[in-house]
Amino acid sequence: MPYENYAKWKETPIETEPFLSIVIPAYNEQNRIITTIGAIASHISDLGFPWELILADDGSKDNTVQLCNDLGLVNFRVLTTPKNGGKGNAVQRGMLAAKGKYILFTDADNSTPIEEASKLLVKLDKEGYDVAVGSRAVEGADEGKKNLLRRTLSYGLRWIVKHVLKIGVKDTQCGFKMYTAEAAKRLHTKQTIMGFSFDLEILFLASRYGYKIAEVPVTWIDAPGSKVDTKKEVQRFLRDLMKIWSNDLKGLYN
């Protein structure tokens, strides 16, 4: 029964290793974080396994942390830091703190609905993949409300990823990825890029280390209130791509 399952998760600490940890990176998300947490808690609590939720705050200046702490959810942890370190840094802290057998990170705007998590979980738990990537670029994906500029830039960046870094994933930047605990710890320990393009490095490393990667079609909506500055992020993406290439040449990923 939905409410009873949620109430149990809210009030009773889990006594075993979480089957799933969910990490939400957040920066100044007071206007939508509670809605996202509610959607996640309501859905995942009904799936019948022990799980934990982690908010990795990135030095928010608003009431994000206070609002989350006030929820009183016993299986929910809030990680804080005194200064903004970038989305990649927040995800890294969450991944390394997570205790679950499988670890999902999902964006605070819930652009990919949490109901899509089961698709990724099947790939890891039933089919033996190490990494499952939510994708807007493979057959079966539903990508809504993305403007023409972002669509055009996405296509160009995906071409570069395929032909320069030779990563066999079409959509590296969707904020919805799941890992086995072993893969998550290894990849995010090696992570050097702490900004918006950290996913690019993580998937490059996953490919380099021979992890089995599934690209899974998901529903994605360009949620209102996005903090992404498309032009700036393209510049950072290209800069980070060169950093990955340079790191690889220097042997930093060996």
Say whether 170 sits in a helix, a strand or coil. coil
Q: Which residues of 189-221 are buried (b: 16+ CB within 10 A; e: fewer)?
A: ebbebbebbbbbbbbbbbbeeebebbbbbbbbe
Q: In which domain, by residue range, is 185 found?
A: 2-250
CB within 8 Å of 68: residues ≥ 6 apart: 33, 34, 37, 55, 57, 76, 78
List the CATH number of the domain containing 153. 3.90.550.10
| Model pTM score | 0.93
C-alpha separations of 108 from 120, 228, 229, 254 in Å: 18, 13, 16, 33
Number of domains in the chain: 1
- pLDDT, tens digit only, all 254 positions of the chain: 578 999 999 999 999 999 999 999 999 999 999 999 999 999 999 999 999 999 999 999 999 999 999 999 999 999 999 999 999 999 999 999 999 999 999 999 999 999 999 999 999 999 999 999 999 989 999 876 656 556 666 777 777 777 777 888 999 989 999 999 999 999 999 999 999 889 999 999 999 999 999 999 999 998 776 666 667 778 888 899 889 989 999 999 98
Beta bridge partners, 61, equal: none
Check residue 234 and give its pLDDT: 80
CA of residue 91 relative to chain centroid, distance: 7
CB 44, CB 121: distance < 8 Å: no
SS3 103: strand
pLDDT at site 146: 58
Backbone angles phi, psi at 193, to 5 degrees: -95, 120
